[in-house]
Amino acid sequence: MSGGARGAARRGAGAVSRRDALRALAASIAAAAGSPGCARRAPDGRVHASLWFAYGGKNREVLLSLVDQFHREQGRYHIDAVYQGDYFEALAKLRTALAARAAPALTHVVGEVVPYLAEAGVLEPLDQRFAAGDLDVVEALGQAGTFVGGGDRPLVCLPFNRSTPIAYYNRDVFRELGLSPPSTWDELRRAAQRLVVRDGGGTRRWGFECPIDWWFWAALVGQAGGELFGPDGAPAFGGEAGVRALRFWQTLVHEDRTMKPPPGRDYNAWQVTNTDFLAGRVAMIWTSTAFLRYLEENAGQAGAGRFEVGAAPLPRDVRASVPTGGTMFVMPRGAAPEAQEAASVFLRWMMQPAQANAWATRTGYMPVSRRGLEALAQGGYYAAHPNDRVAVDQLAHAAPWPWSPELFRVQREAVQPRLEEAVLAQRDAAETLSEAVRAARER
């Protein structure tokens, strides 16, 4: 079988499995809407509510420490925090739980899936659960700013671990070469060429690396002046700007040979990118602000020697543009009233400046409390930690997602499977995106 045929087979098999999974999710959601659920009390009389979460490592440690703090500060409620794998594994488990009428009282999901769940009617409305002063969230990170028209809809989600993509660079190498972080695509190409170190027939250090992922491609499309969806809500994928974005990756990988070929899909690719950066195999990467603290703390133990991590905004093409990412807290319908009450109290507590800032400063995610963000700025935190400021400043250029139940399906089924093959095999960019548009319009 030819490489192209193998790629087509992979796309076809992946599309079928994803389509079946999403249809199964829709069916299970319909069956689970309004399910009763239950709450339980511990021997000490506390009301228990389950919280499903979807990450490990340092971020898991920070979350669990906050849950423990919540337990110390009050004696009525207990949050049972349960790890459910990565974002996509956790979503699959949520589907199963909805079908079994055993969904948690509280969980968090990637932002792009919120419209799907909301339109399916399985999320508790949050408007009546919180007073106005309880939800002083940073607008660009809440429902109102994350989605087009999000503020005009019933509130169904609250920001949790929110992020933007940012650029990380090896400050030591940049100082040695007299380079500044690139602010445009052209500057990125020139800097990557300066940063490459060839060793005979191989490459000892690459200039740039970025996971070939929907999120980063969406950033490129916006920077090239395009929109993922048209005014009528139909998938457009940026038109010519989307093609330009895909060709930019192809140029860096094949023509300039400065971008390390993409290492894989989903979070495996993200972890390999981080590892390459820490090991000195690449001098500049794009990844999430979520990894800020991890990269800073581990750069001193990198295999290529200690170095200082720098962070910078993503470069622009015709404009600056970044998507927001990460997850939103949601309350699936069906839990017992007592469990919902416990989840609401915990949510209210997590939205307060002290907890929002503790989460942000210890992980690298962005503060979701407006008052908390102001306190950090006024208290000199960002002056002392300029890397943390980068993602916050980029919110001025954040592009909201469309409120479309099809958004998650379009991402996972129509676009994501085609990006890596287009870059690695140099498939025609326009043809690739035309095919993606046709796939996105399938129902």
**Concatenated DSSP letters for 234-254?**
-B-TTTHHHHHHHHHHHIIII
pLDDT of residue 44: 75
From CA 397, how far away is CA 395, in angstroms rounded?
5
Of 34-48, 84-98, 395-409, which gets the smallest average pLDDT? Answer: 34-48
From CA 284, how far away is CA 292, in angstroms rounded?
14
pLDDT of residue 405: 92
- Average pLDDT of the segment spanning 72-99: 93
- Average pLDDT of the segment spanning 368-376: 96
Q: Is the pLDDT of residue 322 over 50?
A: yes
Domains of the chain, by residue range, sit at 12-163+325-399, 165-323+421-440
Q: Is the pLDDT of residue 16 over 80?
A: no
pTM score of the predicted model = 0.87
Which candidate, 431, 215, 423, places its Cα nearest to that of 314? 215
Question: String of b and e for 96-133 (b: at least 16 CB within 10 Å)?
Answer: ebbbeebbbbbbbbbbbbbbbbbbbebbbebeebeeee
Q: Is the pLDDT of residue 263 over 90?
A: no
Q: How many Cβ atoms sit within 10 Å of the Cβ of residue 329? A: 22
CATH level 3 topology of 165-323+421-440:
D-Maltodextrin-Binding Protein; domain 2 (3.40.190)
Q: Is the pLDDT of residue 97 over 80?
A: yes
From CA 280, how far away is CA 306, in angstroms rounded?
10
pLDDT of residue 355: 97
From CA 181, how far away is CA 164, in angstroms rounded?
17
> Domain spanning 12-163+325-399: which superfamily?
Periplasmic binding protein-like II (3.40.190.10)
How does pLDDT run across 179-229, given as a tens digit for each residue? Answer: 999 999 999 999 999 999 999 889 999 999 999 999 999 999 999 999 998
pLDDT of residue 18: 45
Q: Is the pLDDT of residue 17 over 80?
A: no
Q: How confident is the model at residue 135 (pLDDT cuts 50, 70, 90)?
A: confident
pLDDT of residue 302: 59
